[in-house]
Amino acid sequence: MLIGYARVSKADGSQSLDLQHDALRAAGVERDNIYDDLASGGRDDRP
């Protein structure tokens, strides 16, 4: 079983997971085994 991971660093919608999903599907990863991470690379609560 293959598992895929797609991530965008901006949660504001300016980046898309579509190209990553397409590449993972082309590599043989089933759609149900692709996991997305929509997180910002920055943190507001830095010390």
Q: Where are the domains of the chain?
A: 4-38
pLDDT at 39: 72
pLDDT at 15: 75
Q: Look at residue 21 in the predicted model and tell me its pLDDT.
A: 96
pLDDT in tens, 3-42: 999 998 775 666 789 999 999 999 999 999 999 987 766 6
- Return the sign of the alpha-carbon dihedral for residues 5, 6, 12, 13: negative
Does the pTM of the predicted model rise above 0.75?
no
The pLDDT confidence band at residue 43, using thresholds 50, 70 and 90, is low
Q: What is the pLDDT of residue 13?
A: 62
